[in-house]
Chains A and B, each alone.
Chain A
Amino acid sequence: MHLTGKNKAAIVLGLLPALLVYVVFAIYPILQSFYYSLMDWNGFTDMKFVGLQNFKNLFQDPLFWNSAKNNIFVVAASVLGQIPIALFIALLLNRKLKGVKIFRTIGFIPVVLSTVVISLTWNLIYNTKNGMINELLRSVGLDFLTQNWLGDTKWAMISVCITVIWQFIGIYLIIFLAALQNIPEEVLEAAKIDGASEWITTWKITVPMIWDTIIVAIILCISGSLRTFDLIYVMTHGGPSHSTDVMALYMFNETFTNLQYGYGSAVSVVIFFFSLILILLVKKLLGQKMV
């Protein structure tokens, strides 16, 4: 018996605390950002209604397009880096080998660390003077390959993306492993008896069987990397000369550095819809294939 409607007062009382906090501090702010996006406002003086002017300005700002382009680069690097590597390692770990658990444990470590700690650690690694990478190159006599990894417009974005990829492989690794372990053993046994090689089994049976999980992972990867902010804020602050600027960072700077609260809110709204559209698109494209 589910307790039924006679306890209305209790139900209201029970839901109220959570609903109140959630509405005031999560829903109300997101609605406000839609409202502010139509205003010209520096956060202190009176607001002025300007309609869609903020959006118009936004779409004409080359710096915004630059940040959007960089953002897509981060998304592409994450999807093409994290998903295949995680899948590959997961396939390797999904055998009855000794010591597999240790690799899983180590693989997940970066996921639990805070992005700030990761960013600062990698800043030290990329350091020009005595960072790990340049030091390593020097020690094997490849001095000419040393770079100012985060200070050179040519390398900064690539360096940042490597850190992004490194940070989140673990989570997809675990997701894929869980899916792989759900494949019934008989299916793979049957393929083996039919004489299918491991390569064929992997591509024709294993991967299609976890295809749904792979799509979920790709969507997660897109929505996560689209929101990249902390990492780039700490590592490069969008520099050098906007080469690592992403949309959330552009919004942050426009709002809190240039004090354009209305304009910044317009950027927020664009980010919100941009990520929604991208995710729906991926769902549509990948969802129909192979199923």
Chain B
Amino acid sequence: MESTLKSNTRSKLVLDQGSKKKNIKNTLIYAVLILFAIINAYPILWMVINSFKSEKEFAVNQFGLPKTFVTQNYIDAWNTANLGVLFRNSIFICLIATIITVLIGALASYFLARFEFKLSKAVYTFFIFGMLIPIHATLVPMFILLKNLGILNSPITLLFPYIAFNLPITIFILTSFMKSFPKDIEESAVMDGCGIFRIFWSIILPMSRPAVATVIILNFIHNWNEFSFALVLINDPTLQTLPLGLASFAGQFTVNYGAQMAGLTMSLVPILIFYLLLEKEIVKGMTAGAVKG
């Protein structure tokens, strides 16, 4: 009796030690994860918080919350950086480029995925090869090509490289998705007298909705963030996109930290909201883009 009691308490003790050990371990894990989260998020948070401080306060109180909420930085940034124009240009380019890329990409994917013809595989490989091309290697010839075509420095200049360089990943994702549909889908449609393009528009495209969502997001983020082509191909300040405009704004106003932080905050808030709302889709799109890109 006594001995069972003893062994009982002992096993309880061992158990306690075990869970204690586990507790310490979990605490350690959380500590590491929290440190990781802080390192990831704090630089952004630091900037957002400080964008609401006056220059004086920023100099003495960098790590606290603003004592007085100042919006002057935002007014300065909006006016001097021409943010309204930059936003408009970026939204215009991103929307149009994304829509065209996804439309013509989906159409091409439809034929590559659902039709059997001699060059099908070759054309597909040819498209996928585009993912290996380093963009920087094309900056010079792209500049010359667009200059010769007379579309340098125009509102639609950036559409051409953006569409061309996002087609490979778009076609890659859409083709593999469309290939997974059962083979007899079109059969009944053909029986009903549906044309080939009609089948694409009213059957295949709607069925591909998840993959289409992925490529729309992927395209949009790529275009929204793109800098190199914009840098080389756009000179006119009224045609600049957000990244290009911000870079030149920061170059000119190196001493006005507050305005810089306000401008950066305004440009990153939309994409952050977009990310938090569509996290699953965005993560899926961007990792697919990375793995094959």
Binding site for B on A (CB under 8 A): 1-5, 7-8, 10-11, 14-15, 17-19, 21-22, 24-30, 32-33, 36, 43, 89, 92-93, 95, 97, 102-103, 105-117, 119-125, 127, 130, 132, 135-136, 139, 166, 169-171, 174-175, 178, 216, 220, 224, 226-227, 229-230, 233-234, 248, 251-252, 255-256, 261, 264-265, 268-269, 271-272, 275-276
Contact = CB atoms under 8 A, between A and B. Distances in A.
A252 B290 contact: no
B165 A26 contact: yes
A127 B55 CA distance: 15
Contacts of B114: 2-3
Interface string B109-125: 01110111110000100
B187 interface: yes
Contacts of A120: 246-247, 250, 260, 264
Given A92-B33, A139-B63, A234-B247, A109 B44 contact: yes
Contacts of B140: 33, 36, 255, 261, 264-265, 268
Nearest to A14: B111
A19 B134 contact: no
Given A21-B163, A26-B130, A268-B140, A3 B190 contact: yes
A14 B110 contact: yes
Size bracket, chain B contacts: 35 or more
A27 B112 CA distance: 19
User: Binding site of B, secondary structure by majority: helix, strand, loop or mixed?
Assistant: helix
Contact of B186 (A1, A97, A269): A1
Contact of A132 (B33, B62, B268): B62
B123 A15 contact: yes
B5 interface: no
Contacts of B135: 227
Given A103-B33, A109-B41, A122-B43, A252 B139 contact: yes
A11 B108 CA distance: 9
Nearest to A91: B29
Contact of B107 (A7, A18, A109, A117): A18
Contacts of A113: 44, 225, 268, 271-272
Contacts of A256: 232
A121 B164 contact: no
A21 B26 CA distance: 54
B160 to A, nearest CB: 5
Nearest to B107: A14
B163 A2 contact: no
A22 B44 contact: no
Given A28-B145, A272-B137, A103 B117 contact: no
A275 B287 contact: no
A112 B277 CA distance: 13
A166 B232 contact: no
A240 B128 CA distance: 39
Given A109-B275, A122-B43, A166-B39, A19 B160 contact: no
A139 B43 CA distance: 17
Nearest to A213: B291
B35 to A, nearest CB: 10
Interface string B151-186: 000000000110111011001000000000001101
Contacts of B141: 28-30, 32-33, 36, 265
B267 interface: yes
15 contacts: A5-B117, A7-B115, A15-B107, A19-B123, A22-B164, A27-B130, A107-B40, A112-B271, A112-B282, A113-B271, A114-B225, A115-B243, A117-B246, A121-B43, A123-B250
Given A29-B145, A95-B29, A121-B43, A24 B164 contact: yes
